Amino acid sequence: MGALSHCLRRLHPRRRQDRLRTPYRRWRRCLTQSPLLWPLGPVERARLRRLSGDFLARKTFTGAGGMQLDDSMRLHIATHACLLILRLDLDYYAGFHEIIVYPETFMVDYEEEDEFGLVHRVRRPLSGEAWEQGPVILAWRDIAPSGCPHDPGASVILHEFAHKLDMRNGAANGMPPPHPEMTREDWTRALTAAYHALHASLEDGEPGAIDPYAAEDPAEFFAVLTEVFFAAPERLRAHYPAVHEQFRRFYRQDPGARHPAAPQRPCGPGLDSEWRCPDCG
Ligand SMILES: [Zn+2]
């Protein structure tokens, strides 16, 4: 009894602290509006609530371009960022402090080299961007909960924070630092074969199951397939089983095992962006 009450005394302040950080009603509303979080069990939900509370305490959110951020918006971003590290640790997001949010897509200037070696200056609208050792930038319009079960409105968040994990060992290259029980060789073999297979299917004009943007470079391949791993794990396992296995080891979770009987999501984040189910229009 003595040991039990000692444990309760130790746990109680932590639980109170969690409640203060993320009020229950706000947390419930966040879960309700986020289909990607629905399959999580009570233990995982509690862990995610605690992680996202710590994330909110450590990171700075800045509204840009007239964006007025409220606590629910910050929580929406934090929970989806923390879904990636649910079985890892908040230290995986060390090295940057700020999340900047615009109301709409934002314009970014790039220098691009063409096939003749000429450098062109181009402007592109972006929904999200992750800077190496810098902020994550998001467009609220493209990450807000939409209410459509096939479009969780969070794929951009998963994508940009996957880049952040990738950048833990330098510039994004599709290879975040592997865990000790993993090998670089297994990772490279699985992702390289899948990357080449995607390129081959695109060159053959085959309708893809994966957003063609994944073929841009290995860093985008990792980020887009991370979206698919969380939003449509059955699809990733069906098309690229070796990549699915490497992701399961890296993220130390298996989203497909949470709802084994759930119907496959026909469209949504990371999938072929040309196709939408009737619900999505
Ligand atoms: Zn990207």
Q: How confident is the model at residue 171 (pLDDT cuts 50, 70, 90)?
A: very high
Tell me how far the alpha carbon of residue 11 lies from the centroid of ligand 1, in angstroms.
40
Dist. CA 127–CA 142, nearest whole Å: 6
3-state secondary structure at position 110 = strand
Dist. CA 224–CA 240, nearest whole Å: 13
| C-alpha distances out from residue 173 to 77, 136, 170, 247, Å | 24, 17, 8, 15
Contact 143, 67 (CB under 8 A): no
Report pLDDT digits (tens) over 9-27.
444 444 445 445 788 899 9
- Side chain identity, residue 279: D
3-state secondary structure at position 232 = coil
Mean pLDDT of the chain: 85
Give the pLDDT of residue 262.
43
Percent pLDDT > 90 in the chain is 60
With tokens 């009894």, the residue in question is 1
> 173-281 in CATH: which number?
3.40.390.10
Q: How confident is the model at residue 40 (pLDDT cuts 50, 70, 90)?
A: very high
Q: Where are the domains of the chain?
A: 14-148, 173-281
3-state secondary structure 166-227: HHHHCCCCCCCCCCCCCCHHHHHHHHHHHHHHHHHHHHCCCCCCECHHHHCCHHHHHHHHHH
Give the pLDDT of residue 244.
98
Give the pLDDT of residue 108.
86
Contact 40, 258 (CB under 8 A): yes
Tell me how far the alpha carbon of residue 12 lies from the centroid of ligand 1, in angstroms.
41
Tell me how far the alpha carbon of residue 58 lies from the centroid of ligand 1, in angstroms.
24
The pTM score is 0.84
Q: How confident is the model at residue 147 (pLDDT cuts 50, 70, 90)?
A: low
Tell me how far the alpha carbon of residue 204 lies from the centroid of ligand 1, in angstroms.
24
Which segment of 107-111, 197-201, 268-272 scores lowest on mean pLDDT? 268-272
Report pLDDT digits (tens) over 62-98.
999 999 999 999 999 999 999 999 999 999 999 899 9
Report pLDDT digits (tens) over 247-259.
999 999 999 998 6
Which residue did the predictor score with more confidence, 17 or 227? 227
Q: Which fold has domain 14-148?
A: Cyclin A; domain 1 (1.10.472)
Give the pLDDT of residue 34.
86
Tell me how far the alpha carbon of residue 161 lies from the centroid of ligand 1, in angstroms.
9
